[in-house]
Structure 1
Amino acid sequence: MASGIPRRLGAAVAAAVVIALTLTACASAAPESSGGDGEPVTGGDLVVAARSEPPQLNPLVDQMGGAHVLTPVVDSLVWDNGDGTYGTWLATDWEVSDDARVYTFTLRDDVTFHDGTPFDAEAVKVNFDYVADPANKSTGSVAKLGPTAEVLDEYTVRITLEQPESSFLTLIAAPYFGIVSPTQLLDDPDSLASTVVGTGPFVFDEWVKGQSISYVRNDDYDWGPEGTHEGAAYLDKITYRFLPEDQTRYNALLTGEADIVDYIAPEYAEEVKADDRYESDEFLLPGVGFTLHLNTRTAPFDDVNVRRALLTGIDREAIVKSATFGAYPVQEYLATTTPDYKTDLENVIEFDADAAGALLDEAGWTGTDADGYRTKDGERLSTTVPYADNDQLAQRTLEQVQIDAKELGFELVLQPVPAADFSQRLYTGEYGIMPSFQSEATGMQLWRLYGGDNVSDGSSIGSNASFLADAELDGILAQARASADPAARADFYGQAQELLPSLAPSIPLYSRARVVAWQPNVHGVAWDYAWPQPYLFDAWKN
């Protein structure tokens, strides 16, 4: 089945997707799973071929780091159903104030952390206090919300935000806000870089740097998210093997070295989906796809005409088709599968090289040097673009962008850097263009990436990679985030999407279709919608 499919796959498939999503919404909190028939079998080891290794594991510090390999070991307060509703998990009930600033959670009273520490309201408070402390430099958006946690009784906790956030439940449903043992947070926080003590269905086992990370079953587990099976996980062990090379990961599927392969590269996607030897599922990830964020703090992107010129002067359709082998759709400022995506956009991004050239002329870049690049006052129109050196798709894409930019007379200097160093560039601003990919099932992504109050400021780390600060946009985003009415919220986020092409803080390129494939003896693979990825609590092997 397909939970989200690129729009170029055809009307018949799109209709099937609508039906599937409707059924999912009606099914309440049950995670959508794929797999075979029959009774689940207990036991067995599952090997997952993962695309990247995290630089460290602390989910409360680096939301990108371990999010894709931490779901076995941590649980969240709520489960995101992916349709705007939420299921119970570590919290059995919650209340939200009319202004979307106060969230009160009633917690389960039968949960224990892997180190034996009881799960209660105080444990939740310790987690929120840790994230809110500027000294811990949490990169998650929850930190920017200024949360204050108050214990009302042993199993009731109230979270008050400095600013309203109607998407708060989606944020805390993600694995990068999985609840960590307060004992570890208070007594040995440094250990979180290399091990995590949570309440999840699996317990941390071993991290072999450069190779793999493994987890073993938590036999005492009996608090899976609403809609999953009761009791402990079926599998004995889950091992994530880090295979950054796309072809190596694909070969791991063919040879049986891996039971599940995550992120089948676009050049192999159609072949895998058509191969009846394997099961597969595809999800067009919501949020903000692969995007080039333009650093508006520094020249030349402090000039909006230069930003608009690059936005409209590259042929996004041709670039995406070439780089992704036609597997991914071109995106506006939100993916079509994102809640609050505006379906009737009027201010869409159109390719117009002549208009782009006129904008650069207006910005004063009228000279030309010996290499054909534009100049102004003797200076070449040039900028730097760092990218993770293990990201082959990003490299292909940027090389295509570089070619189009040169046609405009704009030099893009590509800088491959180690993946661990690349993530730090986002927060230091050491770049002209920052390519990044953000997937989250909420229109609040627009605030995360373009809100003037979500910029790294020394006291906290923000996600606004373009460093954009626009009063009109900020006002619209603030109204969206404070709106408890879904229709009103969608309208405000729609206004933001109409405005963004004029501000041109970034160049959106494509939505990423996450294709996951697995061997025929693997069943019960589901999707975690809060941070879209495979969820393996219900998984089992013949």
Structure 2
Amino acid sequence: MTASRKFAAVVVAAAAALAAGTALAQAPAKPQYGGTINIGTIFLTVPPLSFDSADWTWKFNHDMGLTYESLFAADLSKAKRNGGPYDFTIDAFLPSDAIRGELAESWKMLENPRRVEIKLRKGVMFPAKAGVMEARELTAQDVVYSYNRYEQSAKKIPNYFDHIEKVEAPDASTVVFTFKAYHAEWDYRFGWGYYSAIVPKEVVEAGAKDWRKANGTGPFGISNYVQGNTVTFTKNANYWDSETIAGQKYKLPFVDTINYRLIKDESTYMTALRTGRLDLLEVVGWTAVDEIKKSAPQLQWNRYLAVNGPVLALRVDTKPFDDIRVRRALNMAIDRDQIMKSFYGGNAELMSYPMHPSYGPYHEPVSSMPASIQALFKHDPEQAKKLLAEAGLAKGFTFKVQTHSGSLDNDLLSLISAQLAKVGVKMEIQVMEYPAYLSAMTTKTNAPGYFVNLAATNPTTALRKTFVTGQTWNPSQYSDPAFDKQVDAMLAEPDEAKRQQLLRGMTREILEKAPHIWLPTPYRYTAWWPWVKNYNGELRAGAERPGPIHSRIWIDQELKKKMGF
């Protein structure tokens, strides 16, 4: 039988199975243990950047969040699939009522001095790892050690832990964070954020950069890594956590093996989804949805507004982008309606960065902002030419733009180039491999133009990480001491309503000064097969951390077999 005929037969069998037993696919069922799940994560085109948490790579939690845990994580009982209000698709935003203790059993804020006292769960174990460590219980000293490694790393984000005076372990199950002053992100910075995984000293001494040495308290241990292909995780049989389903508690995790597939080519990973070689694909572009729905109608879907929409950062410390007239001109040269209609097929919103609509009161639509900001989002090539002439660039100019080969939006960059050409501005596009591309930004050697999908992260982080002087994720090299002080004041404000007001005003200021070409944000889709249970499109349970979500999935193996897979 040919491959096409075989696939057709599978589709027919799957359709028949569903037609005959829809109730089987939808009715509550008792979770099953065992099996393997193959996942194309939201970053399936980008391989692991480092297996050492102290390298301060943004992707560490994503890649190793099944193995290493943090003090806090998302309370997934608040997910929409459980009757809660949250879809958990935002990259690093956990509402205050949707945070649970992970390694922390309880915590409380104390005064004089201001500090947080955290009680750790007892009986949480690091499993035995040959050549690395014997099995032993997690202690408070592991938390202190992990914090100190982050703080002392030469790669740390500047000022990230400046609000912390000291971290101590008065006993084996208690950790105390003493603050210099209140900080609105205290729980995010070292609790559930990007740089908060608890890594034992034994792993560091054995060689934390080697994935073979990795060993954490999480539900899975990394068991294999085939570069450019697959990261494999194997069940930790002695994992401490559980999941309550239909009133009954079940020990986690459910599946034996999780494979994170690495696939750069879109047609390849879409074929893998359609043929069941991927059980779950977290990112599907709108252009593929209709065809996939026709060829694999049994797939389940979730639609979400991307948190990492593209922008074109302009180095404000480099001519001609040190002139605000030039930056505003380039924004006015962009036809966003054309981008939303033709490039995204209507599957996009005008703006979600730096404040995502999911942030609620932190977000303000463009339509409510001053006319000077609204003008940046209107296609006005004549005004763009006028501003360029006022800046002494009536004949236009050429500038270099960097992007990376794994970007899903490089075709958009070509469209932007064509639009800018109409006002006399030419782009030289340099496509780089992701590590070199990322290094260019983090070492502040990036080109005058830097095409990047910048995630807003969360409301209090969005402006700090990208527009405060010297910050790592600041490709425009934006620097304004007065703005830096505004960020500091906002982070020191304990009243959330006041923080929201401050951030709305600060967002206006940044948009007005246009250190980026502001671009529409697309909707994206997640697709999974009906045999993937206890899942409804959730993507993050912390800062880019899908681990707690994936460890709660179970596979209805009877249904999968009935569907011909």
Is this a same-fold pair by TM over 0.5? yes
CA offsets per residue over residues 248-278 of structure 1, 9 Å max, x none?
1111111111111121123113555686401
* Residue 411 (structure 1) aligns with: 426
Distance in 2 of aligned mates of 1:335 and 1:257: 33
Structure 2 matches for 1:194-233, cutoff 5 A?
196-223=214-241, 230-233=250-253
- Summarize the alignment of residues 35-74 of structure 1 with structure 2, pairs less than 5 Å apart: 37-50=28-41, 51-52=44-45, 53-74=47-68
- Equivalent pair of 2:127/2:238 in contact (CA under 8 Å): no
- After superposition, where does 1:324-335 map in structure 2 within 5 Å? 324-331=344-351, 332-335=353-356
1:149 pairs, out of 141, 145, 167, with 167
Task: Show the counterpart of 1:507.
Answer: 517
Alignment-derived partner of residue 173 in structure 1: 192
Q: Is residue 342 from structure 1 mapped to residue 364 from structure 2 by the alignment?
A: yes
Matched, 1:88 2:101: yes
RMSD: 2.9
Matched residue type, 1:77: L
Q: How does 1:121-520 map to 2 (within 5 A)?
A: 121-135=140-154, 137-138=155-156, 142=160, 148-160=166-178, 165-171=183-189, 172-174=191-193, 176-185=195-204, 187-192=205-210, 196-223=214-241, 230-272=250-292, 276-286=297-307, 289-331=309-351, 332-338=353-359, 340-343=362-365, 344-346=368-370, 347-348=373-374, 349-351=376-378, 352-366=380-394, 368=395, 374=396, 381-391=397-407, 393-429=408-444, 430-439=446-455, 441-453=457-469, 455-456=470-471, 462-520=472-530
Q: Distance in 1 between matches of 2:448 and 2:113?
A: 36
Report the secondary structure of 1:165's partner residue.
Answer: coil
SS at match of 2:302: strand
Q: 1:416 Cα shift?
A: 0.5
337 and 149 in structure 1: CA distance in 2 versus 1, 3 angstrom threshold:
same
Maintained 8 Å contact 2:356/2:456: no
Please state whether the residue corresponding to 1:243 is helix, strand or coil: coil
- Any idea what the Cα deviations from partners look like across 1:37-84, whole Å, max 9, x if unmatched? 211100001111242212322344243334433222122211235333
What TM-score does the superposition give when structure 1 sets the normalisation length? 0.82
Give the Cα separation in 2 of the matches to 1:403 and 1:110.
Answer: 60
Cα distance in 1 between the residues matched to 2:170 and 2:243: 24
Which structure has the greater CA radius of gyration?
2
Say which SS state the counterpart of residue 318 (structure 2) adopts.
coil
* Equivalent pair of 1:60/1:177 in contact (CA under 8 Å): no
* Contact 1:44–1:237 (8 Å) recurs in 2: yes
Q: Answer yes or no: is the 8 Å Cα contact 2:144–2:167 preserved in 1.
A: yes
Structure 2 SS opposite 1:338:
helix
Query: 1:415 Cα deviation (Å)?
Result: 0.5
Provide structure 2 residue ranges, at least 5 long, that are not aligned to the other structure. Answer: 1-24, 76-93, 129-134, 557-565
- 1:103 and 1:407, CA in 2 relative to 1: closer, same or farther beyond 3 A? farther
Distance in 2 between residues matched to 1:262 and 1:112, nearest whole Å: 31
Q: Check conservation: 2:220, 2:236, Cα contact below 8 A.
A: yes
Residue pair 1:307, 1:504 contacting (<8 A) in 2 also: yes
CA spacing shift, 1:197–1:147, aligned 2, 3 Å: farther
Q: Is the 8 A contact 1:99 1:484 kept in 2?
A: no
- Name the SS for the 1:386 alignment partner: strand
Give the alignment partner of residue 137 of structure 2, picking from 87, 110, 118: 118
The code of the aligned residue for 2:389 comes to: D
Structure 1 contact 479–489 (Cα < 8 Å) conserved: no
Deviation, structure 1 residue 285: 3.9
AA partner of residue 407 (structure 1): K
CA deviations 1:444-486 (Å, max 9, x no partner) are 2333333434x15xxxxx2222111123422332222112211
The Cα shift of 1:414 comes to: 0.7
The alpha-carbon deviation at position 131 of structure 1 amounts to 0.9
Count the aligned residue pairs. Answer: 487
Cα shift readout 1:378-408 (whole Å, capped 9, x = no counterpart): xxx22211111122x3211111111111112
Partner of 2:71: 77
Q: Which amino acid aligns with 1:398?
A: L
> Contact conserved, 1:100 with 1:483, CA < 8 A, in 2?
no
